[in-house]
Copies of this chain bind each other. A is one copy, B any other.
Amino acid sequence: EALVSPDGTVTEAPRTVKKQIQFADQKQEFNKRPTKIGRRSLSRSISQSSTDSYSSAASYTDSSDDETSPRDKQQKNSKGSSDFCVKNIKQAEFGRREIEIAEQEMPALMALRKRAQGEKPLAGAKIVGCTHITAQTAVLMETLGALGAQCRWAACNIYSTLNEVAAALAESGFPVFAWKGESEDDFWWCIDRCVNVEGWQPNMILDDGGDLTHWIYKKYPNMFKKIKGIVEESVTGVHRLYQLSKAGKLCVPAMNVNDSVTKQKFDNLYCCRESILDGLKRTTDMMFGGKQVVVCGYGEVGKGCCAALKAMGSIVYVTEIDPICALQACMDGFRLVKLNEVIRQVDIVITCTGNKNVVTREHLDRMKNSCIVCNMGHSNTEIDVASLRTPELTWERVRSQVDHVIWPDGKRIVLLAEGRLLNLSCSTVPTFVLSITATTQALALIELYNAPEGRYKQDVYLLPKKMDEYVASLHLPTFDAHLTELTDEQAKYLGLNKNGPFKPNYYRY
């Protein structure tokens, strides 16, 4: 997910240690954005993630010492096309293998492809996309293609592109413009190359972070008006869309897939239940048993973190601002405390609030030696990392994504991923979760593209519950799970259609 600073400067260089970093308040940023911006003054997305750190593909080819910018290279795929820009088209075979592996774990998309052999629900669709370029995205793109769509794609993050996958996509004919380690200038150049093609008017947008949408909205307003629908994945991007909508400037129906049930519960609760353990292990090799941990925030992410750590034998404390979530924490067996009460004794501090300055310099000053601090929430504002960029503290990078911040008296705090998202920076996202998200995106595109006139107005919509249920049902075969069907009599008794939707909209799952 992308963060944007309102002043248009690059606000973070994650690989550079000890640099003073200022993060702007991202919540209000959209309406503050300058209305006229040239390329250089445009704010740039800096990903909090570099999902590639431990991915397999990266290891084959990252040691490449090819320093030439892809923009300066002349490359053609085996069919002679050069309508793409990737690091090295020769890596296509490696990437294809990664894509094939991913296909095996994305049966829902493969099922969609199969069903689309007769009809092509996206025939005529011209989709421009801006997401992380990974093997899973590739499966999505190739599924969209199989459903009839034409696609052009850029990366939503300057670090997260898997070069081999981008090469494989380019080789198989997708106009892809992305590589790992783009500059800010490269980033917008790639987006523009997707959008601005003679004779190609996109009619659908698939976005993750809102940069692509914003670019078209600002630079190509006429093109924007002809878009049939926008599908947006990220909290930030959705926030921007709601602001556009409130301001009366959203002339296109948009689908908020971020708040669909499957995404919320699976991406957050179930995925974080696993990735908190994974992220901590890969960075610190610590043992969980017996460790005292405070988890700030008991939303879906916090619930997942707490459940996992408790199961591994950690003693977990929770902080909350919302009394309902607080009471849930109590009933689930966690001591509800204020951070100050336990900060001196805990071995690990994990933030999952979506809030800012949850862990302050004052807290950091009081932590015990070797305390691990990390963030699982949705942005890097939760830990006041900036407050640690002061002369009396020494930063020492001990591993990738692991810094020791050393106090004058020798106390060390172990800061992971510089306060960015641990689960994106230091662990991988399971393909299964990505499959749910990608299937949701595909269905949202189909829905918006095929919806009869008038079903969707110029507003932001949640995915219809029935489609949420459909996404879920497509993933049940993975678990050899057998759904029960209502009898006619039962359906009548319950007042339900036998095929769903099965729950009222306010149902909480």
The 7 closest A-B pairs by CB, nearest first: A311-B311, A287-B430, A336-B481, A323-B473, A290-B330, A289-B331, A323-B472
Q: A310-B333, A319-B484, A354-B494 are in contact. List 9 more A-B contacts (CB 8 A).
A: A54-B282, A97-B398, A277-B281, A290-B478, A290-B479, A313-B330, A321-B483, A324-B468, A508-B508
B484 touches A328 (CB 8 A): no
> Which residue on B lies nearest to A475, using beta carbons?
B327
B506 touches A506 (CB 8 A): yes
A90 within 8 A of B: no
CB A95 to nearest CB in B, in angstroms, measures: 13
- Taking CB atoms and an 8 Å cut-off, the chain A residues in 246-263 that contact chain B are 259, 261-262
Closest residue of chain B to A509, judged by CB? Answer: B508
B333 to A315, Cβ gap below 8 A? yes
**Residues of chain A in range 163-209 having any CB-CB distance to chain B below 8 Å:** none
CB proximity to B under 8 Å, residues A290-327: 290-292, 300, 308, 310-315, 319-327
Q: Contact between B336 and A483 (Cβ–Cβ < 8 Å)?
A: yes
Q: Collect the chain B residues with CB atoms within 8 Å of residue A13's CB.
A: none
A394 within 8 A of B: no
| Contact yes or no, B336 A506, CB < 8 A | no
Distance between A462 CB and nearest chain B CB, rounded to angstroms: 8
Complex CA distance for A330 and B436, rounded to whole angstroms: 14
Enumerate chain B residues within 8 angstroms of A59, measured Cβ to Cβ. Answer: 399-400
Contact B313 A270 (CB under 8 A): yes
Quick one: given A281-B281, A333-B313, are A101 and B398 in contact (CB under 8 Å)?
yes
Q: How far is the CA of A335 from the CA of B506 in the complex (A)?
A: 27
Chain B residues with CB under 8 Å of A493's CB are: 25, 27, 355-356, 381
Residues B259 and A274 in contact, CB atoms below 8 Å apart: no
Cβ-neighbour of A484 out of B55, B320, B400, B469 (below 8 A): B320
* Residue A286 lies at the interface, judged by CB distance under 8 Å to chain B: yes
Out of B105, B274, B287, which one reaches A432, CB within 8 Å? Answer: B287
B287 touches A502 (CB 8 A): no
> CB distance B289 to A332 under 8 Å?
yes
Q: Whole-angstrom distance between the alpha carbons of A338 and B462 in the complex?
A: 31
Residues from chain B with a CB closer than 8 A to the CB of A333 are 289-290, 310, 312-315
Partner of A398, one of B56, B289, B320, B508: B56
Chain B's nearest CB lies how many Å from the CB of A129?
23
B290 touches A274 (CB 8 A): no
Q: Is the CB of A315 within 8 A of B334?
A: yes
Name the contact of A330 in the complex, choosing from B320, B479, B487 (C-beta under 8 A).
B479
Docked Cα-Cα span, A508 to B289, in Å, equals 20
Mask of A30-70 contacts with B, CB within 8 angstroms, 1/0: 00000000000000000000000011100100000000000
CB distance from A293 to the nearest CB of B (A): 10
Q: Would you call B285 and A431 a contact (CB within 8 A)? A: yes
| CB pair B315 A289 closer than 8 Å | no
Query: Complex formed: what's the CA distance from A323 to B266 in Å?
Result: 13
Task: Output the least CB separation between A354 and chain B (Å).
Answer: 7
State whether B331 touches A506 (Cβ < 8 A): no
Nearest chain-B residue to A265 (Cβ)? B328
A423 to B392, CA, bound (A): 40
- A273: Cβ under 8 A from any B Cβ: yes
Show 17 A/B contacts (Cβ-Cβ < 8 Å), sorted by A: A27-B493, A27-B495, A287-B431, A308-B312, A311-B311, A313-B333, A315-B333, A321-B484, A323-B472, A323-B473, A323-B483, A327-B479, A336-B481, A338-B482, A341-B482, A357-B489, A506-B506
Q: Interface centre among A300, A334, A428, A481, by most B CB within 10 Å?
A: A481
Asked whether, in the complex, the Cβ of B428 is within 8 Å of the Cβ of A355, the reply is: no
Q: How far is the CA of A367 from the CA of B324 in the complex (A)?
A: 28
A321 touches B287 (CB 8 A): no
A476 adjacent to B311 (CB under 8 Å): no
On whether the beta carbons of A287 and B315 are closer than 8 Å, the reply is no
> A339 an interface residue at 8 Å Cβ cutoff?
yes
User: Which B-chain residue is minimally distant from A356 (CB atoms)?
Assistant: B493
Interface assignment of A500: CB less than 8 Å from any CB of chain B: yes
Residue A264 lies at the interface, judged by CB distance under 8 Å to chain B: yes
Contact B322 A502 (CB under 8 A): yes
List B contacts of A278 (CB < 8 A).
277-278, 281-282
A476 lies within 8 A of B330 (CB): yes
What is the minimal beta-carbon distance from A489 to any residue of chain B, in angstroms? 7
A77 adjacent to chain B (CB < 8 Å): no
For A338, the chain B residues whose CB sits under 8 A away are 482-484
Say whether, besides A270-B313, A333-B290, A355 and B104 are in contact (CB < 8 Å).
no
